[in-house]
Amino acid sequence: MNLIIDIGNTRTKVAIFKKEKLLKSYPTDTFNSDDLFQLKKEYPKIKSAIVSSVKNNSNEIITLLKEQIDFVLKLNHKTILPIENLYRTPKTLGKDRIAAAVGANKLYPNKNLLVIDAGTAITYDFVNNKNQYLGGFITPGLNMRLKALNEYTDKLPLIQAGYPDDTVEGNKRIISIKGGIQFGLEGEIRRIIQHFKPLNDKLT
């Protein structure tokens, strides 16, 4: 059994696999020794673990895992991958982007892939039909856009993400913000997909 830990900007995601079968997955704010003890109790056959982190605090978790698990791998630019990484500055490539590209290629090998991962930031990553990772784009996530309007203006409130209640043009402040952010992001996604489509036959 394999333990997978993905430390993102906002939350940590944990998963247990038996070969390629997902047995359990859940998000958490933190992962500590109590969490590991509970997982080992529930799944005593965990033999391997891999940690992907976009933060610099993963060493503590790596140390914790090595005390309890036989084989522990920290995903980084030196990790051997089933795809070829052609990113020009591999040291600066986010581990979340590497993991997303590898996962998509596992599901759709030998295809032109655009992988869209919507988290704190939104990443757009391209893998070609030669199983080569070529890079992509990074933009602010939905909640980051809402927070930016609030933090960098004096009068705009911080609101929850969602479609505006009124389908007409924005005639109230909250409707204006929701519509601008929501529809603007949708337009961005469509535009980036269109950017990659003419360059690559049969984009998935």
* Beta strand residue intervals within the chain, DSSP E: 2-7, 12-18, 21-28, 48-53, 71-74, 84-85, 113-118, 121-127, 132-140
Whether 35 is a known active-site residue: answer no
The rounded distance, in Å, linking the Cα atoms of 108 and 169 is: 40
8 A C-beta contact, residue 139 and residue 30: no
Catalytic residue among 6, 96, 117, 125: 96
Measured in whole angstroms, the distance separating CA 47 from the mean position of its chain's CA atoms is: 25
Three-state SS annotation for 117-148 = EECCEEEEEEECCCCEEEEEEEEECHHHHHHH
Q: Which residue has the tokens 């051997």?
A: 80
121-127 sheet: strands from edge to edge: 84-85, 132-140, 121-127, 113-118
The rounded distance, in Å, linking the Cα atoms of 113 and 115 is: 6
Query: Which residues form the catalytic set?
Result: 96
